[in-house]
Chain A
């Protein structure tokens, strides 16, 4: 059977320093933003996101605190699997808004586990190609932006 897991070399772009910043609501820190980009050669439907887990400084963020923003729409991470009509373009960042009350200034160990089910590669009944878009990085959190 061909390799089921694919991980391309565009990992550097999954987490970029410019996508990690404090989230403010009326000037008050409420959480942080993490922009995610796809480590693949093409875009994929949001429904293909099979796993999305964020860990900061060793602590996993509960999915209930995360909201995904893409194409001018908002999604709970539990809703993604139904979004087969919503496309995540290869050049577009998904803004992950994480309302955990905020992070201290400075450097953080950020880790994202992001696995996609290929929308077109099937090896046998029930076995599809998997695209590993995971990435871990030490990032410095940037100045707060007002969340609107």
Chain B
């Protein structure tokens, strides 16, 4: 078994500093990639360009010149389809296809091999044809709270099977497989006065079938206060977690174009405690995948300005997993 997965870094991981500091831009981020020993990167247009979906020639030139200077390479371009940007109505299918084309144009100008774009299943055949013209493959990201077993993802899978095209596929995000809350989130609620045993109860019983309202009531019964209430709200909401949908993951692997390696926090020991990275990477490698895993740090959720250190730890973890896999076959 070859385990020669390549690692890249999404510039999205530098969100905190990029948004907060006037003096932090492409040059500083590329310098950061150098420090991490990373060459391939992903760029999110709506975030990093001043004009989206059509960035100016100056903006494209700036990225390309600085990328050459720092010996890094635009690998994938993150697009949106801003279907709700008008106030009178949503975009029509024809207009959405135009937005997809604009993003393909930008990916092409940047020299990216991939465009990550939320293309609806019904537009996938037309998008595949356009992607082939631009020679840029489109990846549909499977992103939390979505799970690969969800009907809409499985519908896309059937579309991909039918199209049998190298120009469309999935970008499975490891953020779909968060199995328990991370330490930052737990510590925050402890700091707000939650009892450790109450938090543990929520974690242990999150998937026992109780609704958010029932869990909130249970916390009140167990003597919980505001902090427990907030924990239930977040852990049933945007920081939800669940047993990893590994069977679903297996079904989408044949159409994985590249992966998103999302993570929120990793300790000094470089061990990921919330997402089963080892299992996921092993499954990806066993499926024959030998492409790129794009690391995506999401620490700005907690407003932490520690991207370089966190990503460095995450890279160490990924490399250790890959080395172990390789060693098994020596």
Point out residues on A near B: beta carbons under 8 Å: 2-3, 9-10, 13, 41-45, 47-48, 50, 71, 81-82, 84, 87, 89-92, 117-122, 128
Contacts and interface: CB of A to CB of B under 8 A. Distances in A.
Given A3-B238, A10-B19, A91-B22, A43 B83 contact: no
Contacts of A82: 87
B20 interface: yes
A2 B238 contact: yes
A87 B50 contact: yes
Contact of B82 (A9, A45, A50, A89): A45
Given A3-B237, A10-B20, A13-B20, A89 B50 contact: yes
Residue in B49, B81, B237 with the greatest tally of chain A CB atoms within 10 Å? B49
Contact of A87 (B15, B19, B52, B86): B52
Contact of B47 (A41, A81, A120, A121): A41
B19 A84 contact: no
Interface of A: prevailing SS? mixed
B300 interface: yes
Given A3-B237, A13-B19, A89 B86 contact: no
28 contacts: A2-B237, A2-B238, A10-B20, A13-B20, A41-B47, A42-B46, A42-B47, A43-B47, A43-B50, A43-B52, A44-B85, A47-B85, A47-B86, A48-B85, A50-B87, A71-B50, A84-B87, A89-B49, A89-B50, A91-B22, A91-B25, A117-B87, A119-B84, A119-B85, A120-B82, A120-B84, A120-B118, A128-B84
Interface of B: 15, 18-20, 22, 25, 44, 46-47, 49-52, 80-87, 90, 118, 237-238, 300, 303
Contact of A91 (B46, B50, B303): B50
Contacts of A81: 87
B195 to A, nearest CB: 26
Contacts, number: 72
Nearest to A49: B87
Residue in B22, B80, B87, B118 with the greatest tally of chain A CB atoms within 10 Å? B87
A114 B303 CA distance: 21
Kindly list the 7 A-B residue pairs having the minimum CB-CB distance in the complex, ordered from nearest: A89-B50, A119-B82, A119-B85, A42-B47, A42-B46, A45-B85, A84-B85
A120 B83 contact: yes
Given A47-B86, A84-B87, A119-B84, 19 more contacts: A2-B238, A9-B303, A42-B44, A43-B50, A45-B85, A47-B87, A48-B85, A71-B50, A82-B87, A87-B51, A89-B49, A89-B50, A91-B18, A117-B84, A119-B80, A120-B80, A120-B81, A121-B84, A122-B83
